[in-house]
Chain A
């Protein structure tokens, strides 16, 4: 709501005084791009950056937005998703804002987009080398779970001393019989840095490994950028005899499109307590449905 009010206000101001393309001034964009290059050069390493002011409260996707705005050009096609959904209020607001300050066209089709900004999910459809996925990050430090001190986590990264993280996983297995981390599953990037992949489910972790696409991670509140360049090894932490596993949905399928090969959201009917499942990636679900309908139409002829 606040954002909408601001946009209206801004539109009024725009008439008299033009803002810069993509809102952020060119010097600040160049600074962010330089930090992105550094992040790409050191996969998985958190690069501090200046985090310019935006008309969005920090913690509401500002880190991702700053990356998107500093990368976007007039030819780009933007897709924004929140927890897999193109239609959520957050995604729509961000899309509206970027559209407003750049004039670029937007899409819900993963294949068509050149830049995808996302929170909590990676699209189901495999992305290509011509696309960039920008992930919003609430907590960039994967080691924070085991070490509160920033100086100490920096030392741990510097010396690749990750025994505390491994010990945490060991204890998890002792206590629960398995590793209990759902979202934010820690990964080793390029055999070097342990990285927080943002709160994506375990389901999405394998998509980061040896991918075609550039993944950029932005944390606005903590002012950190990090990256996984294409063709980079990304390995979830696992033991030789306790392997990483993605979520499974035994016997379940999407209520809408019937797919059982996507990440499903569980929906519990409050009245009856019945559980149903739906694709978390809504645009992918739409696509499968459309294909099925097309097939049916064809077979009718």
Chain B
């Protein structure tokens, strides 16, 4: 039972600055200044000093207006970008990970790993679904191949096994199995997101990142994809970070939420509490405007 309360991930002061930056960037940006641009050097503080913990099997939301730094946070955690500062700790004792990969120590700041180690950790333990399917999929490669790529990275060299597993995952994400060999460029937006989800789940990720997965889809398609995510989460007890500007998505999927503005976290807590009784004026505005 104690195990439950140990976080999978501890993030401290995670910061990403675009442009050279100066010693005062963090002092003059953020919600109280209504900007993420440093007035001294012009650098953009995409996210600044973001700290939080992620617990096993929880779904954590990150909500905020466009440009508030939500994607930056998850893409730093997925090692898509190099950070400008901060610490990330991965408490692998709390998870059953792929035994083939040597995981970093619990007290090792993941941001100090080299690119090879980061890539290995990503392929062994993380999954990502992007808003833009072009970032997550190879559009000209078959759907099965997109999924197989991750299995190849995990060391699989058996075509039959890879096709079997890809077919299972596509079935789980409600894609007709006969479309296994078709490339996602032939697919609709909703189907592309399903293939992305299947791909992200192929390595049994310890943590799954969902960045605006349903944004831009038709409402009815949105509802079905959200349903699927909810169902998969409860079936596999996934640990998920959901990024969305849409409070409806956050309400539906998450138990805990962080609200971001101008690159900073302004408020965090249980999703219900945040929606019913927002404390920060910005959150109040956000909730009232969307209700």
Contact = CB atoms under 8 A, between A and B. Distances in A.
Contacts of B158: 239-241
A141 B177 CA distance: 36
Contact of B145 (A171, A240, A242): A171
A240 B116 CA distance: 26
B141 A239 contact: no
Interface stretch (B46-54, B148-156, B257-265): B148-156
A159 B153 CA distance: 12
The interface size bin for chain B is 10 to 19
Contacts of B141: 167, 171
A166 interface: yes
A170 interface: yes
B190 interface: no
B219 interface: no
B152 A166 contact: yes
Contact of B159 (A155, A159, A242): A242
A239 B160 CA distance: 10
A170 B162 contact: yes
Interface string B136-153: 000001101100110011
B145 A167 contact: yes
Given A161-B119, A167-B149, A240 B157 contact: yes
Contact of B116 (A159, A170, A239, A241): A159
A171 to B, nearest CB: 5
A166 B159 CA distance: 11
Given A167-B141, A170-B145, A170-B148, A241 B160 contact: yes
Given A239-B158, A241-B158, 5 more contacts: A159-B119, A163-B153, A166-B157, A170-B145, A174-B145
Contact of A170 (B115, B119, B153, B159): B159
Given A166-B152, A174-B181, A239 B144 contact: no
Contacts of A171: 141-142, 145
29 contacts: A158-B116, A159-B116, A159-B119, A161-B116, A161-B119, A163-B149, A163-B152, A163-B153, A166-B152, A167-B141, A167-B148, A167-B149, A167-B152, A170-B145, A170-B148, A170-B152, A171-B141, A171-B145, A174-B144, A174-B181, A239-B157, A239-B158, A240-B157, A240-B158, A240-B159, A241-B158, A241-B159, A241-B160, A242-B159
A290 interface: no
A255 to B, nearest CB: 38
Contacts of A241: 158-160
A159 B148 CA distance: 20
B148 to A, nearest CB: 5
A173 interface: yes
Interface in A139-176: 155, 158-159, 161, 163, 166-167, 170-171, 173-174
A167 B149 CA distance: 6
Nearest to B141: A171
A239 B159 contact: yes
Contacts of B116: 158-159, 161
A187 to B, nearest CB: 15
Contacts of A242: 159
Contacts of A155: 115
Contacts of B152: 163, 166-167, 170
A159 B116 CA distance: 6
A128 to B, nearest CB: 34
Nearest to A165: B152
A292 B200 CA distance: 64
Nearest to A242: B159
Contacts of A159: 115-116, 119
A-B pairs with the 7 shortest C-beta distances? A240-B158, A159-B116, A166-B152, A163-B152, A163-B153, A167-B149, A239-B159
A247 B197 CA distance: 40
Interface string A164-193: 001100110110000000000000000000
Nearest to B181: A174
Contacts of B119: 159, 161
A240 B160 CA distance: 9
Contacts of B162: 170
A95 to B, nearest CB: 43
B239 to A, nearest CB: 25
Interface string A230-262: 000000000111100000000000000000000
Which of B116, B142, B152, B162 has the largest count of A CB atoms less than 10 A from its CB?
B152
